[in-house]
Structure 1
C-alpha cells in the first residue's frame, strides 16, 4: 500500500480450485438454494474468491440472506461473516442498502446467541465495520456483552467498543469511562490487555493513572500486559521528553525483573530507542544475547542478532564489553547464526579485547578440525579464518601470533581457506616490514603441509618478493630444492617405477628384465629421452602420490601454472642474490641448479609420466626463465638490460601489490567515514537540557520502531514519488489489435514475487458478447494464481479483470492466452489470440557486493556458463562497461582505480548481482579496443547456479550489442 489512507484489511480466503473451473451466477444461486450445507460451504468459498478478485456479484445478496443466513452450520456462519466484510453495503447514491436491515437483525441475534464463540466471532466482525448506520443498532448488545461471564466474549466486546467509538464518537460518547471502569474491574489478562490498548489510544491521562497504580508490582503483572505497558511507555516517552528519565528507569527495572522472552525483547528495543547511555545499552544487549542463546529457533536468533547489530550501528563503541557474550552464539548449529555473530563481534573488537577474542576463535578452530566430518564444518572454518585475519590486520601486535596459529592448521584447510591464509600473510608481511623475517621463516616451515596448488603459488610469490638477505634467499632455495625432489624428474621417476616393477617380479619369482646400457647397431650407446617412455606405467598409488614433495606432486599432477610461478620465483631469487652477495661460486650453483630444475620440468611435462601434458603458455614462461638465467652468464651485457630485468621481475609486482594495499585501505577508510557520518550529529542540532525539559514541549524525538513499521506498511516517500513520476503509459502492453472484435490492453505491475496484469477489454462490436472470459498460460517459472469468471459485455462496453502471476525465479517468462466468447445464434465459440507478454527479469535483479573469495568460490561452484562475444561500435571500453551495468543491473566489483584510464586499450573486471529470489549472478568482462577497426571486442562470461538466469542475462548482453550497433540516420 503506497497511500497514507487506511484501507480495511479483509480476511484472506483459501481458493479451493486455483486455476480450475468457473461458476456462473446461476450455478451459484442454484447451489445456495437447493444444495446441502457442504455444497453451500463450497459455493460460499467460490463466491468469496470471486468477490476478492473484483467481481461484486450483487445478484447473490438476497440468495445468501434467504438460504445461508438461517443456517446453523458453524463453518457456514463463519464464511457468512467473511462475506459481510466485503459485500458492498451502500447503493449507488451512498445510502445503506435496504437488504442490510435483514443483516442487522441477524447480527443482533448472533450478539445475543447462547453460544459464547458465536457471540465472540460476531463481536470480532464488528471491529471491521465502518458504517455508522449499521453499528448504531449494535451498541446496546455490545455494551451488554462487557459483563458476559466468558472472557472470550469480553475480550472482543471491549475492542468493539473501541472500534465503534473510532468510527463515530456520538454512538458511544462515554466510551473512555466505560473502558476505564472495565479495565479496573477486569481480571482476565487478555481482556485487560485489550482494554489497556483501547484506553491508551483514547485517554492518556487515565492510562498514566493506571500505570502509576501498577508500577510497584509491575514484575508480577501478566506478560501480555507488561508488553503493552512497554509499547505505551515507548510511544509516550518519544512524545513527551520530560518524562523520559522516569520511563527509562521503569523500563530498566522491568527488564531486570521480567522472565518472559517477549517482554525482554520489547523492553530492550524500547530502551535502545529512548537512550544512548552505554551502561543501559550494554544491559539490553546482554539480555538480548541471553535470549538468543536460550531459544532454539534459529530465526529468532537471527532476528535478535539483527537488532544487536542495529544497536551497535547507532551507538558505535558502546557495546565493546559484550563481544565475548555475543560470541557465545557460536555454539549454535546454524552457519548463518554463527556468521552473523562473527560479523557483530568483528565490529566490536578493540585492542583491549582482541587477544581474548582470538583465543576463543582459536578454540573454535580446533573444534572444527576435530569435527571436520560435520555438515558445514568447512564453511564455518573458513568464516573463523576470515574473522581471525580481519582482527590481525586491524591490530599489528597480533599478526605474528595469528600467523603461527593459522599455519598450524594449514594442512587441514581446503583450497579456499588456504588461499585466504596466504592472502592474509601477504597483507601482513607488506604492512609490517619489521616482522618479515619471522613470518617468512614460519611460512617456509609450514609449506610442506600445503595441499592446495593455488595456496602454494601464493607462498612462492611471497618467497620471491620478500626474501631480501642472502640467508633468507638460501633458505627459500633449499625449500624449493627439497620440494622438487630428485632431479631430473623423468629419470628419477622411471628409476623408481622400474624398481617397483622389479620388486613385483621378484615377489612373483619371474625372471627380471635385464637392465643396463643399450648398444645400438652402429656400436654407440643409446641415450634416454623423455619421449621414449610412453609405455611406462603411469598409475601410482595414493600413498606414494601423497608422499611426494609438494612441488613434485603438483608438476606430476599436471599443474604447470605452479611451475611457471616457480620459474619467476627462481629468477627473482637469483637476481636478488646477485645484489646481496658477492659469492660467485654460490651464484653459479644457484643458476645451474635453477636451469636443471626448469629443464627437468619441461621434459617431465612432455613425457607420459604427468597427468596432462604441459601447455604452451607455461612452456613459454619456463623457456623465458631459462633464457634469462643463461643471459646472466654474459659479461658483456649492458647495465640497462639488467635494470630492465630488475624492473620486470623485482620492482613491478611489488609496486602493484603496494597499490592494491593502498586501494583496499582507502576503501576501508571510506566505509568507516560513512559510518561516522551516518552516526554524527549536526553542529546546529538543538541541545536538550534536562533542567529545561518542561519548557521543551515542542521537542519530539523520533521513534525508530514506529518509523520501521510505517516504512514496512507504506514504503518510503522516495519510492512513492518515483512511482508517481514514472509514466504508467510505459507499462501498458496492447494484447490485441484495434481491428479485433475485442480490444485488450494490460497494465503490468511488478511486485517482489508476483506480476499483476490489470487487463482492460473493450467490445468493439454492436453485439453483446456472451460468456466472455480470458484464458492465460505461461512459459517458464511462472504460475497463474487467478481464474477470472466469465461475463457478458454490452456493445462498445468495457470490462476489467486482474490477473496475478506468481514468479518463482529470475528467469525469462512468457504469458500468453486468448479471449473466448460465445457466437450468436448457437454458433461455436469465437477466439481472439492475445499477444505474448514477456516478463522483464531486470525488475528482479539488483546490483550487489561480495568479496573476492566468495566470488571465486561461487565461480568454481556454479555449473552454468553463458559466454557471449562482444563486438560493439561504442567509442571506449568504459562506455561499454557503463552500458553493460545499465542493461544487466549488475554491480562492478573491481575497484575503479583498477579499471584503467578512459582511453585504455584493455579492460577486465568482475560483476555481481543478486535476484529477489536469492539467486546469484556472476559475470567477467574481458574486452579490448581493436587497433584496426576501432571496435570494442572481447567476451562476457556469465555464470549462475541455474541455466535460466545465465541465459536471460546473456540475452540482455546481446541486446546491448544490437542497440549500440544501430545505424543512426542524420539526414535523408
Structure 2
C-alpha cells in the first residue's frame, strides 16, 4: 500500500522561497532535484500548498527517468493542489494525466504496477475519468504484479465515483473466473465482496467443491468474507459452519487453520465445533515452531474454555505435549491452561505425565530446568489440593523425588506438604511418618526447618511423636554436643601425633614444602590433609548436628520449638510420667548443648542473639509449671490456627478470582436478549458482533477520556514572568517516552530570530528529537514538542535553555529553563508474586536501600496503606497474617516497572506508646537507580505524614 513519507525538517526559520525552489528544479542535477522535492513535500504537508511550483515540476521533474525522483513525484501528485481558487481542475493537470497514462502503458511492469497503486490515492473524478480505459487494459496484462494492482485500482475508482466504472463488479467477477494467479484471485474476491455480495456468494458456492485445492491466500479471503457476511446473514450460518469445518479438516496451512478455527468459534456454540477448533489450536501449539504462536494459541484455548466451560476437558493431555518445547514461558502457559481443564476423570493421567516430566529433569541442575521443576511442583501441588483422591500419591511422589531436587524446589515440596496436611486430616499420620523417613536425604537447613515445623504441629499420636523423637535424636548425635566435639577433637589430635611419628620413622629426611592450591595460593601439606580430614569428619556427622556446627542456629531455634511442641503433645495425651520426664530432660539437654556449642570455638560462627533468646525461651517454657496451660495452648493451638487462617485466606482469594472470571463470561438473569433477525440496522448488528480484538483496538468500553482540566495540574513553568521569553510545558507520559508540549511567549516588542530550545537529560533518558528553530514576532506565541525516550524506571531530570539571536549576528541570548523531574510512579505498577519467588529475588538482588522511618500517624495499618499508595506497591503479606492493630507490623511489598524491573520492599515498623511510628523500609532491586528512586519516595512519604501531624 502506498503512504506518505514524512521527513524531518531541521530548521523552519530557514525556509526556501518559491523562486529558490524553481532555481533548484531548473538548473540542478537529479540529486539536487531529489533534495528540493523532499523540501517541497515537507512544506506542502506543513500547510503551504506552493501552487506556483506545479508547472516547474511538470517541466523539469516529470521527464526524468530517475527512480527515486519518480517516486517522490507520485508523492507530490498525492498532496499537491489540483483545483484552482474556483474549485475547478487546474489546466496543468491535463499534462499530469497524460504522464500517468503513459506510465499505465509503460513496457516495464513494475512502473505500471506502481502507477496503479498510486491511483488508489487519487480522489478526483475528473482526473480518474481519462485513466479508466488504461486501468481496464491492465486487467489483461501478462504480468500478475500489474493485474493484482489493477483490481484494487478499479475498485478504488468505483468507490470515488461509481459512474466511472458502473460495471466494475461484473468485470471483476469475469476476471475471477479467467484468472490463474492466486494473489490476483484473492484481491479480486476481496473487492467483489465489497462491491457485490451476491456475486461473491455465487463465486464462493461455485468453488465449495474444490475449496481444499485452492491456495491459502484465497482460502483466507473466503474465511474473512464468511466472518463478515455471517453477521448480516444469520440464515446462512449453518452452511458457513459446514464450510469452515471442511476447510479446517482439509487445509494444510497453519495460518488458514488458525483463522478458520477462530471464525468457527464466532459462528457457532455447538460443542462439537468448539472441540474441533480447540483441537486445531492444540495442534498449532504443538507443531508450530514459533514460541509466540504457541503462546497465542494457548491463550485462545484458555478463552474458549472460559466461554464454553467443560467442553475442552479431554484436551488436557494433548496440551501437555507442548511441554516438549524448551521455552520456559511456553511451558508455564501450557501448565496454566491445562490446570483449568482438570477433572476427577483425567487428574490421575495428568499427574502421571507430570511425574515423568519431574523425573526427566531431576538429573539436570541448570537454572532453566530448576525453574521448570518448580513449575511442575506447583502444578502437582494445585492438583493435590483440588483432588483429594490423588493427594496421598502426589505427596509420596514429591517426597520420593525430594533428594534429587535443589533447595528451592525441595522447599516448595515442604510448603505443599504443609497445606495438604492441614486440609486433609485423614492423611496426616501417613504423610508425617513418610516425611520423617525422607529427611535422611535432606541436606538444606531451610528444608529441615519446614519439615520440623510440620512434625511439631501434626504429630498427634504417641507412636508418631516417638518416631519423630527417635529421628531427631539420631540427627543430633551424641549430646552434650560441646563435650562430644571436644572428645572427638582430642582423639583426632592424638591420632595425628601418632601418625606423624610413624611418618618421621619411615621418612626421616622428607620435607613438607608448600603446595599450590587451585586458586593459586600456598598451603602446607599438613593443612591440606587436615582440611580433607575435616570434610570427611563433617560428612560423617548427623545432618542436624552438621548444620548447627556450620552456624545455622535458626535451625537450632526451630528444633527447640519443635521439641517443646512434642513434649507438650505427649503431656496433652497423658503419656506415662516416667517417659514424659525423660523426654523433657533430654529436650532441655539438647537445647542447652546448642546454646553452649554456639558460644564455643567449634562452630563456624557464633550463635546470633535472636536464636539464643528463642532457645532460652523454649528452655523456660519447658521448666515453667505456673503457666503450663497458657504455654500449651500457645504452642499446640494458636500456631496451628494461624496457619489454618492463612490457608483459608488463600483459598478464599482463589475462589473469588475464579468466581470473577466465571461471572465475566456469564450472562446475567436480567440481561436483555438481542435478536439479530429483528435488527434493521446492519451496522449496529455488526458492531454488536465485534470480536474482542477489534473492540480492544478501537479503545473498548473501559477507555477513559482525559479530563482537559486535569492537564492544568501537569503544566510546569520553565521560565520567569520577567524573562524576555516566557515558557511553560505540559508533560505527558506515555508507556516508553515522555512528551513535552512547550508554549513559548515572546514578551518583547521585537522579533526573536532563530529561537531554538535545547534539552538535555540526566539519568536513563534520551532526547529523541530536537525542536525546530523558529522566528517569533513581537508578543507572539509559538508551540513546540519534543520527545524523551525512557529506558528504565530511575528518576530522571530534563534541563535545558532557550537560545535566540541578538541585534547583531555574533550576539546571542540564553535563557536557562527550570528542571523537569520525571516521576517514576508513572512507570511503576503494583504486582504480585509467590512467596518463594519473592525470597529468591530478595537473595539475588544486590542493591539495597534502607530508609529509617519516623511518622506521626496514629495507626500502623494507615501508614502501610499510605506507603502502598505513594510507591505503587502491592502488599504480599496476607491480611490474616497482619491481623488486628497491634504494636508491631511487618509486611513484604512488591511492584514491577513497565520495563520489567522488579522492586521489592520489606516494611518493619512499631508504634511507640504515646509516640511516633518508627522503623525502617528495606528496598531491593537489580539496579541501583530504582532502589534509590523508591527510597526517595518512601522518605518523602515519611516527611509528609510528619508534616501533616505537626500542622494539625
Partner of 1:928: 910
Q: Give the drift of 1:202.
A: 2.8
1:869-948 to structure 2, matched below 5 A, reads 869-901=852-884, 903-933=885-915, 935-948=916-929
Partner of 1:548: 541
Q: Give the drift of 1:445.
A: 0.6
Q: Give the drift of 1:938.
A: 2.3
Is the CA contact (8 Å cut-off) linking 2:646 and 2:878 kept in structure 1? no
Is the CA contact (8 Å cut-off) linking 1:775 and 1:818 kept in structure 2? yes
Cα separation, 1, equivalents of 2:353 and 2:454: 29
Pairing partner for 1:670 from 638, 656, 660: 656
1:358 aligns with 2:351: yes
Q: Give the drift of 1:97.
A: 8.0
Is the partner of 1:778 in helix, strand or coil? strand
Is the partner of 1:230 in helix, strand or coil? helix
1:954 aligns with 2:935: yes
Q: Give the drift of 1:460.
A: 0.5
Pairing partner for 2:171 from 175, 178, 198: 178
* CA separation of 1:49 and 1:593: change in aligned 2, threshold 3 A: farther
RMSD over aligned Cα atoms: 3.3
Larger displacement relative to structure 2 (378-387 or 793-802):
793-802
* CA separation of 1:152 and 1:720: change in aligned 2, threshold 3 A: farther
Deviations 1:472-524 (A, max 9, x none): 11110011111112222223334434444444444443699xxxxxxxxxxxx
Partner of 2:181: 188
Cα separation, 2, equivalents of 1:804 and 1:305: 37
* CA separation of 1:347 and 1:26: change in aligned 2, threshold 3 A: same
Is the CA contact (8 Å cut-off) linking 1:453 and 1:554 kept in structure 2? yes
Is the CA contact (8 Å cut-off) linking 1:849 and 1:891 kept in structure 2? yes
Cα separation, 2, equivalents of 1:325 and 1:23: 66
Partner of 1:301: 294
Larger displacement relative to structure 2 (594-603 or 942-951):
942-951
Number of equivalenced pairs = 923
Partner of 1:123: 116
Cα separation, 1, equivalents of 2:293 and 2:436: 46
Cα separation, 1, equivalents of 2:84 and 2:723: 35
Partner of 2:512: none
Cα separation, 2, equivalents of 1:91 and 1:759: 37
Partner of 1:618: 611
Partner of 2:340: 347
Q: Give the drift of 1:122.
A: 2.5
* CA separation of 1:96 and 1:970: change in aligned 2, threshold 3 A: farther
Partner of 2:581: 588
Is the partner of 1:610 in helix, strand or coil? coil
Is the partner of 1:825 in helix, strand or coil? coil
Deviations 1:210-242 (A, max 9, x none): 111111111111100101111111222233322
Q: Give the drift of 1:132.
A: 5.1
Give TM-score, length-normalised by structure 1: 0.88
Q: Give the drift of 1:541.
A: 4.7
1:106-505 to structure 2, matched below 5 A, reads 106-130=99-123, 135-136=128-129, 138-370=131-363, 372-374=364-366, 376-505=368-497
Cα separation, 2, equivalents of 1:213 and 1:258: 18
1:778-927 to structure 2, matched below 5 A, reads 778-901=761-884, 903-927=885-909
Deviations 1:289-347 (A, max 9, x none): 21222121212211211211221222222110000000000000101111100001111
Partner of 2:521: none
Deviations 1:853-873 (A, max 9, x none): 222222222222222222223
Deviations 1:573-609 (A, max 9, x none): 1111122243222222212221221111112111122
* CA separation of 1:496 and 1:156: change in aligned 2, threshold 3 A: farther
Cα separation, 2, equivalents of 1:202 and 1:445: 78
* CA separation of 1:333 and 1:946: change in aligned 2, threshold 3 A: same
Cα separation, 2, equivalents of 1:752 and 1:89: 41
Larger displacement relative to structure 2 (746-755 or 494-503):
494-503
Q: Give the drift of 1:413.
A: 1.8
Is the CA contact (8 Å cut-off) linking 1:470 and 1:581 kept in structure 2? no
1:630 aligns with 2:614: no
Cα separation, 2, equivalents of 1:608 and 1:87: 91
Is the CA contact (8 Å cut-off) linking 2:646 and 2:880 kept in structure 1? no
* CA separation of 1:611 and 1:404: change in aligned 2, threshold 3 A: same
Cα separation, 2, equivalents of 1:594 and 1:968: 51
Is the partner of 2:890 in helix, strand or coil? strand
* CA separation of 1:182 and 1:432: change in aligned 2, threshold 3 A: same
Higher relative contact order (CA 8 A, sep 6+): 1
* CA separation of 1:800 and 1:240: change in aligned 2, threshold 3 A: same
* CA separation of 1:288 and 1:72: change in aligned 2, threshold 3 A: same
1:745 aligns with 2:728: yes
Cα separation, 1, equivalents of 2:269 and 2:592: 69
Q: Give the drift of 1:961.
A: 2.7
Cα separation, 1, equivalents of 2:139 and 2:438: 79
Is the partner of 1:832 in helix, strand or coil? strand
Partner of 2:509: none
Is the partner of 1:865 in helix, strand or coil? strand
Cα separation, 2, equivalents of 1:899 and 1:93: 78
1:566 aligns with 2:559: yes
1:609-758 to structure 2, matched below 5 A, reads 609-631=602-624, 637-638=625-626, 641-684=627-670, 706-721=690-705, 723-724=706-707, 727-758=710-741
Is the CA contact (8 Å cut-off) linking 1:942 and 1:953 kept in structure 2? yes
Cα separation, 2, equivalents of 1:737 and 1:949: 32
1:73-92 to structure 2, matched below 5 A, reads 73-82=66-75
Give TM-score, length-normalised by structure 2: 0.90
Q: Give the drift of 1:742.
A: 2.4
Cα separation, 1, equivalents of 2:437 and 2:501: 44
1:604 aligns with 2:590: no
Is the CA contact (8 Å cut-off) linking 2:13 and 2:774 kept in structure 1? no
Is the partner of 1:964 in helix, strand or coil? helix
* CA separation of 1:422 and 1:878: change in aligned 2, threshold 3 A: same
Is the CA contact (8 Å cut-off) linking 1:56 and 1:88 kept in structure 2? no
Cα separation, 2, equivalents of 1:838 and 1:446: 57
Larger displacement relative to structure 2 (727-736 or 243-252):
727-736
Larger displacement relative to structure 2 (105-114 or 307-316):
105-114
5+ residue gaps, structure 2: 505-528
Cα separation, 1, equivalents of 2:32 and 2:499: 87
Cα separation, 2, equivalents of 1:340 and 1:26: 59
Cα separation, 2, equivalents of 1:698 and 1:798: 48
Cα separation, 1, equivalents of 2:126 and 2:435: 85
Q: Give the drift of 1:948.
A: 1.8
Q: Give the drift of 1:95.
A: 8.1
* CA separation of 1:572 and 1:40: change in aligned 2, threshold 3 A: farther
Is the CA contact (8 Å cut-off) linking 1:50 and 1:788 kept in structure 2? no
Is the CA contact (8 Å cut-off) linking 1:768 and 1:793 kept in structure 2? yes
Is the partner of 2:501 in helix, strand or coil? coil
Is the CA contact (8 Å cut-off) linking 2:13 and 2:754 kept in structure 1? no
Is the partner of 1:339 in helix, strand or coil? helix
Q: Give the drift of 1:661.
A: 1.7
Cα separation, 1, equivalents of 2:95 and 2:853: 73
Cα separation, 1, equivalents of 2:729 and 2:797: 14
Cα separation, 2, equivalents of 1:897 and 1:320: 35
Q: Give the drift of 1:64.
A: 6.3
* CA separation of 1:968 and 1:930: change in aligned 2, threshold 3 A: closer
Partner of 1:520: none
Is the partner of 2:370 in helix, strand or coil? helix
Cα separation, 1, equivalents of 2:2 and 2:888: 58
